[in-house]
């Protein structure tokens, strides 16, 4: 229980007023008819000796009215939190040296050990939490006194709507140990291999590609992605075609892809088979469901490559050195040529990037109550009770003529 304005509690001293009034009031005497006064003996009884508590029900009602009024003014609030302290541990950090120290220390202090998974079990689960935002919302609903969460705060686990972190929940991110791994191994030719190495830490995940003449036995070697590219360009788009071909060659040298590039004029184009068709012409684009098509269609905006449908993109600007630098054309082109999203799914479990604690603690929501005190409309019910007691007191006073 807590009071928002404790100074109003001094008004409880006013209880002495109705008590004093009732104590000082005398009971109404009974009228006894006597034939003569000679048998009445004069006494020296003190004036207040026979005073007795009169109308105790009215006294109780009036004192209760005053108490309820003071509680309303003082802002009575109840502590509705459960007096429990939890230590919630993510399985990804259970072997971390710092996590073991925290677990030993906090359990001695009375914290219950739970795991960061659905339902927050006490026994280590087989499946961990896949969404930290949902875990934060679930912990807030439990209204625990204090919660300490030990987690790696992996970026991939923060999915969906962002949740504000209540003051009762302390989220501690344990820094991940830097890890090096082989993302993929690709074979370009008989004795030519590309090994893509990754390095992941709490701050970033980076990749580098090295060239070697021997493969790594412990890693599955895959064939290089091969794509047929057909550039169809009219005479007015010759410069654009040269710029496009230069970007494609740069992608082929730096990334794990082999491109077989062919260039034709729109007049010579028939139904040449290819994986990609770059249509640099004002003529109508040929329709094909099996070929990925990039065609020129001038539009305003910052994106130079814009998806307009399944396997269809538009090039919104003519190509020049300045335009390609401003729009990162080669990087955008590489992102649609190489399915990196599918490749990333296979190496996601190596990712050690983490959101900083400052990101979690930086948001406060006006709709979120404090960590300990929740009114839950208690003052509303208190006011209704006050009106009810006042009406009863008036009715009793009317009946007793007080």
210-269 pLDDT per residue, tens = 888 888 877 788 877 889 999 999 989 999 999 999 999 998 887 778 899 999 887 777
Q: Tell me the mean pLDDT in the region 101-129.
A: 89
Phi, psi of 54 (to 5 degrees): -115, 135
- Summarised one tens digit per residue, pLDDT across range 385-398 is 889 988 988 888 88
State which H helix or E strand residue 211 sits in: strand 205-212
- Summarised one tens digit per residue, pLDDT across range 326-357 is 999 999 999 888 876 666 666 777 888 888 77
- Summarised one tens digit per residue, pLDDT across range 304-324 is 999 988 889 999 999 999 999
pLDDT at 39 > cutoff 80: no
Nearest-angstrom CA–CA distance, 320 and 298: 14
Q: What is the pLDDT of residue 52?
A: 46
Q: CATH classification of 82-176+355-368 is 3.40.50, yes or no?
A: yes
Q: What is the pLDDT of residue 372?
A: 39
Q: What is the pLDDT of residue 29?
A: 56
Q: What is the pLDDT of residue 35?
A: 63
Q: What is the pLDDT of residue 261?
A: 92
pLDDT at 67 > cutoff 80: yes
Q: What is the pLDDT of residue 42?
A: 56
Q: What is the pLDDT of residue 322?
A: 92
Q: CATH classification of 224-350 is 3.30.70, yes or no?
A: no
Which range, 40-54, 140-154, 344-358, is most confident?
A: 140-154
| Cα torsion through 68, 74, 76, 77, rounded to 10 | 170
What percentage of the chain's residues is helix, strand, coil (to nearest 5)? 35, 25, 40
Q: Tell me the mean pLDDT in the region 129-138.
A: 88
Is 224-350 in the same CATH topology as 82-176+355-368? yes
Task: Return the structure tokens found at 252.
Answer: 């082929």
Domain regions of the chain by residue span? 2-24+52-78+374-400, 82-176+355-368, 180-220, 224-350
Phi, psi of 269 (to 5 degrees): -75, 130
Residue with tokens 């260039």: 263
Residue 361: C-alpha distances to residues 26, 136, 165, 329, 365 (Å) = 66, 12, 6, 37, 11
Confidence of residue 150 (pLDDT cuts 50, 70, 90): very high
Provide the mean pLDDT of the chain: 81
pTM, 2 dp: 0.49
Q: Tell me the mean pLDDT in the region 9-27.
A: 75
Confidence of residue 373 (pLDDT cuts 50, 70, 90): very low
């Amino acid at each position: 229980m807590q009071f928002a304005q404790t100074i109003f509690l001094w008004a409880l001293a006013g209880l002495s007023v109705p008590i004093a009034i009732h104590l000082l009031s005398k009971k109404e005497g009974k009228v006894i008819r006597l034939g003569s006064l000679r048998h009445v003996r004069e006494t020296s009884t003190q004036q207040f000796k026979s005073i007795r508590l009169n109308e105790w029900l009215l006294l109780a009602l009036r004192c209760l009215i005053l108490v309820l009024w003071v509680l309303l003014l003082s802002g009575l609030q109840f502590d509705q939190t459960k007096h429990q302290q939890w230590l919630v541990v993510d399985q990804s950090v259970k072997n971390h040296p710092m996590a073991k120290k925290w677990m030993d220390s906090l359990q001695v202090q009375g914290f219950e050990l739970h795991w960061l998974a659905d339902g927050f079990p006490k026994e280590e689960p087989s499946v961990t939490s896949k969404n930290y935002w949902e875990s934060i919302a679930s912990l807030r609903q439990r209204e625990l006194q204090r919660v300490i969460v030990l987690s790696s705060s992996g970026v991939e686990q923060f999915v969906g709507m962002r949740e504000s972190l209540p003051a009762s929940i302390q989220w501690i991110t344990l820094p991940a140990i830097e890890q090096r791994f082989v993302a993929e191994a690709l074979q370009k030719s008989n004795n030519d291999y590309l090994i893509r190495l990754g390095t992941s830490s709490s701050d970033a995940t980076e990749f580098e590609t090295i060239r070697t003449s021997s493969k790594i036995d412990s890693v599955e070697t895959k064939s290089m992605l091969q794509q047929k590219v057909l550039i169809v360009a009219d005479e007015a788009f010759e410069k654009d075609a040269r710029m496009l071909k230069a970007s494609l060659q740069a992608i082929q040298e730096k990334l794990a892809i082999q491109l077989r590039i062919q260039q034709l004029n729109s007049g010579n184009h028939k139904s040449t088979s290819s994986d990609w068709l770059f249509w640099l012409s004002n003529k109508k684009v040929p329709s094909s469901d099996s070929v990925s098509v990039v065609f020129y269609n001038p539009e305003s905006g910052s994106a130079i490559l814009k998806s307009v449908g399944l396997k269809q993109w538009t090039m919104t600007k003519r190509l020049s050195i300045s335009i390609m630098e401003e729009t990162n054309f080669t990087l955008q082109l590489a992102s649609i040529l190489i399915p990196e999203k599918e490749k990333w799914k296979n190496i996601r479990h190596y990712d050690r990037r983490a959101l900083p604690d400052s990101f979690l603690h930086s948001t406060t929501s006006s709709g979120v109550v404090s960590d300990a005190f929740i009114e839950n409309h208690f003052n509303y019910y208190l006011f209704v009770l006050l009106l009810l007691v006042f009406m009863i007191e008036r009715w009793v006073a009317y009946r007793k003529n007080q």
